[in-house]
Homo-oligomer: A and B are copies of this chain.
Amino acid sequence: MANVNVGVIGYGYWGPNIVRNFFAASNCTVKAVADARPERLAQLAKIFPTIQGVTDAEDIINDKEIDAVIIATPVFSHYPLAKKALENGKHVMIEKPMTSTVAEAEALIELADRKGLVLMVDHTFLYTGAVKKMKDLVNSGQLGNINYYDSTRINLGLFQPDVNVVWDLVPHDISILYHLTNERPISVSATGVDHLRNGIENIAYVTLNFQSNMIAHFTCSWSSPVKIRKILVGGDKKMILFDDLEITEKVKVYDTGYSARNDEEKRKLLIDYRTGDVHIPKLEMKEALAGLACDFVAAIQTGKEPVSNWKIGSDVVKVLEAAQRSIKQNGKEIKIVADYERVK
């Protein structure tokens, strides 16, 4: 396999993790990192003396020896940087969320598709041992039909200047949900509040409605005194609790369910409730970002679709956009058009 030369744009909070994992990845060389802040480049030089630091992202986008560009900058800059990189023939991986609007996401997809380049979004959670195990459990049919997905993702977090708490935290949940079920919602209803009265919500609640009668709900907050990272996935046969703050027992599978055999029983509420054993599977412990790096490199080398593909990336933005519109209308239902197939 040909070695892949990578350039990273943005060396802020997440950038160092990106660099460390691609640095350690096989068949891959981190050639340069761009950040406008000299102190960030000094930090880079101290830890990774072999990687070139540049202050201008253009130096990476125009570097003939660079095959792939990773964009780890604020959301508003994702689109222009990715567009230029794709136009210059680079494969591109973008931090989540992919772009600020669905239109931008679709334009990038169209461009990558036309140029035959890999376009990927960094939904890291899809590469965790926990989500892999949950995917296996769903695929095996053990959970039965998925009835609901309920996530709580709260802590005392920094208020972001450009995006609200939905754009900050909900991409994790939408990507996990889409990865697990392959279903897409028909509508979104969301509420929220901006305690600074600056139009940027710090607490929000998002409901996704599905044709199948599945419901998904996300509670997200930057204003909680306690940190919670819990997801419940309820099947009609079994249910999962994924608590990401647990160290060794992150995923619990409950042999819990309820069912009625027929409509008559439902009407009479002759429901068979069941609570049984709980199973805590051992999870793969590999760092998720290492798996993502490997997947990106393999996609470039072999053309195979990465797990965290642009479809999920774009569909996530579609929900974020709708949720934002719903919040501004105090919960009004916003329909989602599942039209991404069109742009492929």
CB distance from A272 to the nearest CB of B (A): 11
Measured CA separation A148–B201 after assembly (Å): 13
Residues of B near A236 (CB, < 8 A) are 195
Contact B279 A193 (CB under 8 A): no
Name A187-244 residues within 8 Å CB distance of B: 187, 189-198, 203, 205, 207, 209, 213-215, 217, 219, 221, 223-227, 232, 234, 236, 239, 241
Name A130-171 residues within 8 Å CB distance of B: 147-148, 150, 152, 154, 156, 158-159, 161
Give the copy number: 4
The answer to whether residues A256 and B156 also contact, given A234-B223, A331-B326 and a CB cut-off of 8 A, is yes
CB distance from A163 to the nearest CB of B (A): 12
Contact A278 B249 (CB under 8 A): yes
Q: Is the interface of A mostly helix, strand, loop or mixed?
A: strand
Name A244-263 residues within 8 Å CB distance of B: 245, 247-249, 252, 254-256, 258, 260
Measured CA separation A217–B152 after assembly (Å): 12
**Chain A residues within CB distance 8 Å of chain B:** 47, 49, 147-148, 150, 152, 154, 156, 158-159, 161, 187, 189-198, 203, 205, 207, 209, 213-215, 217, 219, 221, 223-227, 232, 234, 236, 239, 241, 245, 247-249, 252, 254-256, 258, 260, 266-267, 269, 271, 273, 275-282, 326, 329-333
